[in-house]
Amino acid sequence: MSRTTPAPPWAALGGYAATRLLGLAALAVASAATGEDGWHRLKGRWDSVWYTRIAEHGYGYEVTLPGGAVHADLAFFPLFPALERAVSAVLPVDAATAGLLLSWAASLAAAWGIHAVGAHVAGPRAGVVLAVLWGVYPTAFVQSMAYTETLFTALAAWSLLAVLRERWILAGTLCALAGLTRPTAAALIAAIGITALATLVREFRGREPRAPRETAPGANRAPHPGRLRRIAPVVAGALLAPLGWLAYIVYVGVLQGGATAYFDVQAAWGNSIDGGVALARFIAGLPWPAALGLCAALGLLGWLVALCVRQRQPLPLLVYTVAVVAVSLVGAAYFGSRPRLMMPAFGLLLPPAAALARLRTRTAVPVLAGLALASACYGAFTLLGSGPP
């Protein structure tokens, strides 16, 4: 099968769904053993509570912490709670349950899109493995929660696929929706913008058709109609891409009366960009065995990025992956959330997916099953813990 031929998604969706069902089963067993309410942890803890509150009451809620820091709901982008409100208005469920249903549906859409990107880049078998690997990511349990990661990843994956297939208007539209979902959409905007610029440079370096003989030498000539038809969708897609992200940033700025208001809100949550200083301080404050292990994990992350470059991934996918990783590392966010913030960078998993795809099925399946079991157990342990993911 050609890499440009759409590959059937059923094996990828089935394998991905199996990983998430295993995660839910592990959570159910752990909940029964500990007496904790695992269902509540999925739909009604941490960020999920904020999205539900926005869905039910709109923006305007904030909490002042004992230290004086103010956590405002304006830190959360509006698409997911808007969809929660819409689903709860149509179905006989509350907003919290609607968020869970949305997240589960979006996770399947994300797995499908990830499979399609993987199949386009490395072949159908690698696409299937890539979708399953995304389902066994260490913090994949978040994909079963009422969080925005699955919705954002679905929009990002299909937007990147649209760019790879040169469907620029669709890519820009999906990116605009991603920009209403998470601030990480800045990475997707960069990927589309840089790819569009590279495409335009390539187009204008190409040779135009000869001008008609009657055109006087040196006379001003309009661009050839064929070239205009080729570049117009590229420009339109690149211009559409940042509109959702910018719209929300402007909305918060107008509401709060300051151009940097959204970033001030994020800084109050401890999510400002510090160039990695907070990460370095966190590592420095750990006991040396833990610090050494964390440095090894960061080294593995760097190695995966290098493999993505060596694999010669398409420009939009590579830029998106590197940008998501960079944004996740240079912020001052709570350290435990960084693996979750990197989860949409599914391109990191393409080199191991391609390697596993080259193995025989009887070898690859046990490897993936072992990873799924480990991910499920880790997810149950983390979800029933005290801190947010």
Q: Where are the alpha helices (DSSP H) in the chain?
A: 10-34, 38-43, 47-57, 79-90, 95-122, 124-135, 149-164, 168-178, 185-205, 225-240, 243-256, 261-268, 277-284, 288-310, 315-330, 338-342, 350-357, 361-383
Query: pLDDT at position 214, please?
Result: 45
pTM: 0.92
Query: pLDDT at position 211, please?
Result: 45
HSE-CB of 304 using CA atoms within 13 angstroms = 20
pLDDT profile of the chain (389 residues), mean per 10: 59 96 95 89 89 95 85 96 97 95 97 96 95 95 95 98 96 98 96 96 70 48 69 95 97 93 90 82 87 92 95 96 92 78 96 95 94 94 81
Query: pLDDT at position 208, please?
Result: 53
Query: pLDDT at position 6, please?
Result: 54
Strand partners of residue 70: 64
Asked if 319 and 159 touch (Cβ cutoff 8 Å), the reply is no
Query: pLDDT at position 331, please?
Result: 78
Interatomic CA distance for residues 199 and 176, integer angstroms: 20
Which residue type sits at 295? C
In this structure, how many other beta carbons lie within 10 angstroms of the beta carbon of residue 127? 29
Asked if 131 and 114 touch (Cβ cutoff 8 Å), the reply is yes
Q: Could you give phi then psi for residue 273, rounded to 5 degrees? A: -85, 120
Q: Which residue has the tokens 């179905």?
A: 91
**Residue 72: which H helix or E strand, with range?**
strand 70-72
Whole-angstrom CA distances from 143 to 100, 136, 379 are 10, 10, 10
Query: pLDDT at position 221, please?
Result: 52
Asked if 184 and 152 touch (Cβ cutoff 8 Å), the reply is yes
Query: pLDDT at position 45, please?
Result: 83
Asked if 279 and 331 touch (Cβ cutoff 8 Å), the reply is no
Q: Could you give phi then psi for residue 137, rounded to 5 degrees? A: -55, 145
